[in-house]
Amino acid sequence: MSAVLEQAIVLHRSSPRSSKPAADVAWTVDAIQALFELPFPELLFRAQTVHREHFNPSQIEFATLLSVKTGGCPEDCGYCPQSASFDTGVKASKLMELEEVLFAARRAKDAGATRFCMGAAWREPKDRDIEKVAELVNAVKGLGMETCATLGMLGEGHAETLRDAGLDYYNHNLDTSPDFYGDIISTRVYQDRLDTLARVRSAGVKVCSGGIVGMGESHRQRAGLIAELANLSPYPESVPINNLVRVEGTPLAEQAPLDPFEFVRTIAVARITMPKARVRLSAGRQQMGDAVQALCFLAGANSIFYGDKLLTTGNPDTQADVDLLHRLGMRSGAPEVC
């Protein structure tokens, strides 16, 4: 084991219940890269050990994601079929009506989902947009579900309005490492994303933030993404890890698939560096297969997006997810931090 990794592990173990290492020592990119480079069995053992310290390892959270406003986004994120810059066949739509959203939320709850996430393809919502989404949040919260929204960058007062409506989580992914970000997106800078997360945290709303792997980033740049997330103070309560879905018409449509073991390693490193977060298998599950998903659960993933569609891309059939957990002797339910 490298001296860099050994030092990082010792520092973190000295304060196991803290969201940061002892004396606020940050996770360095070198230390996280050293984790990635551990032998696969050793890395999974370490991740599962950390996971069991904080969660029931047999319980998986079901969250459902609904696109409440699809397409027409002015951003040029190279992975996104909702960008107006790319011809992907996604048609722009207006914000869904309240009853449509409530119908979807009730179906999700009846199917076993405990968190309902609403996504809208905006660069930055206007005040009037926030007011309308706040109505949706309040109505879904009334069903007894956890609520989450992802609406793009937030302006002053937006997070507070959503909080007052009952929003539990706000999702805003960092996507990748700072030094690779400009290769994927040109219409906003990394600091814009960090500023939105700061507004969310300041308002007292829980943070949901993760990234996408398999976009052509280097091994070290994947470590850089995890370092950015793990060193947020505190780190996100929810960390979605997406495996790139290669959508025809986007600049990344021909990107070579990521080695599935590298994806599992990313889950394991996220678990070790953010021990009390819910680490979610997000986009790309449909292409993984059952065996890789099972390895991800072993590596510390304890949340999945549940339902046959994410914002615009496919997702495993809901019954297939239920059957998989049954075959693994696992069950659905909101994991509680020990």
Give the model's pLDDT for residue 147: 94
Q: Is 296 a catalytic residue?
A: no
Residues of the chain with pLDDT under 50: 7, 10-23, 309-315
- Could you tell me if 86 and 250 are in contact, meaning their C-beta atoms sit under 8 angstroms apart? yes
- Could you tell me if 38 and 48 are in contact, meaning their C-beta atoms sit under 8 angstroms apart? no
Give strand pairing partners of 117: 65, 148
Give the model's pLDDT for residue 110: 85
- Could you tell me if 224 and 61 are in contact, meaning their C-beta atoms sit under 8 angstroms apart? no
- Could you tell me if 332 and 62 are in contact, meaning their C-beta atoms sit under 8 angstroms apart? yes
Residue 1 is classified by DSSP as: -
Q: Name the 3-class secondary structure at 278.
A: strand
Q: Is 220 a catalytic residue?
A: no
pLDDT digits (tens, 9 = 90+) for 134-162: 999 999 999 999 999 999 999 999 999 99
Give the model's pLDDT for residue 22: 41
**How far apart (Å, rounded) are the C-alpha atoms in residues 322 and 317?**
9
The active-site residue, picked from 46, 115, 117, 163, is 117
The active-site residue, picked from 163, 193, 199, 208, is 208
**How far apart (Å, rounded) are the C-alpha atoms in residues 64 and 53?**
27
**How far apart (Å, rounded) are the C-alpha atoms in residues 25 and 44?**
24
Locus of tokens 């049954």:
326
The active-site residue, picked from 148, 163, 265, 278, is 148
End-to-end CA distance of the chain: 29
**How far apart (Å, rounded) are the C-alpha atoms in residues 75 and 58?**
39
Question: What is the bridge-based pairing of β-strands 303-305 and 115-120?
Answer: unpaired
Give the model's pLDDT for residue 20: 40
Q: Is 199 a catalytic residue?
A: no
**How far apart (Å, rounded) are the C-alpha atoms in residues 120 and 102?**
16
Residue 188 is classified by DSSP as: S
Q: Is 338 a catalytic residue?
A: no
Looking at the chain, the number of H-run helices and the number of E-run strands are 12, 10
Q: Is 80 a catalytic residue?
A: yes
Long-range pairs for 197-204: beta carbons < 8 A, 24 or more residues apart: 197/172, 197/232, 199/154, 199/156, 199/158, 199/159, 200/154, 200/159, 200/170, 200/172, 202/159, 203/159, 203/160, 203/162, 203/163, 204/163
The active-site residue, picked from 46, 222, 280, 285, is 280
Q: How many C-beta atoms lie closer than 10 Å to residue 103's C-beta?
A: 12
Q: Is 73 a catalytic residue?
A: yes
Q: Is 280 a catalytic residue?
A: yes
